[in-house]
Amino acid sequence: MSGGATRAWALAAALCLLVVALDQGVKALVESNLTAGESVGLIGPLDLTLSHNQGAAFGLAGGGGAGLVLLAVAALVLVGFLFARDPARPWMWVAVGLVGGGALGNLIDRALAGEVTDFIDFPHWPPFNLADVAIVAGVVLLAATYLREGETG
């Protein structure tokens, strides 16, 4: 493995760990200060509302259980495969670190509690958490890196 590839893997792993730590830390803070369903207004339409779901991101596919765990693991394997093919691709380590950290953050919740803790609450949108934000941002960045290549390549 080249020096650039080794560095990319190390950066992706560090970002992944940072996302997991932030996600789990904020979830613990919210869990210790709010009761389920309790809502605290933050800024404008943004509230903190403690909720739990057994579904996928944003509460979709409620009650997915083992199927959602397998889907998350499959997604991690796919992202890892794409990264392994070209770890030096610009921004790839960021996308992989975000997706990996978000997926692991929610998998930890499922493993420990059988459900995911959500707390970011906007009107007309299901509650979500930092792991969900990281996953969505990572997938968008991953898609952008491949779309950009299509424009220039």
* Partners of 120 in beta bridges: 48, 128
- The count of other CB atoms within 10 Å of the CB of residue 107 is 18
Pair of tokens at residue 117: 């803790």
Active site residue 121: no
Which one of 23, 109, 121, 132 is the catalytic residue? 132
Active site residue 132: yes
Which of 127, 131, 151 lies closest to 51, judged by CA? 127
Pair of tokens at residue 9: 């893997």
Pair of tokens at residue 84: 């392994």
Which one of 23, 109, 118, 121 is the catalytic residue? 118
Q: Is 86 helix (H, G, I), strand (E, B) or coil?
A: coil
Query: What amino acid positions are annotated as catalytic residues?
Result: 118, 132
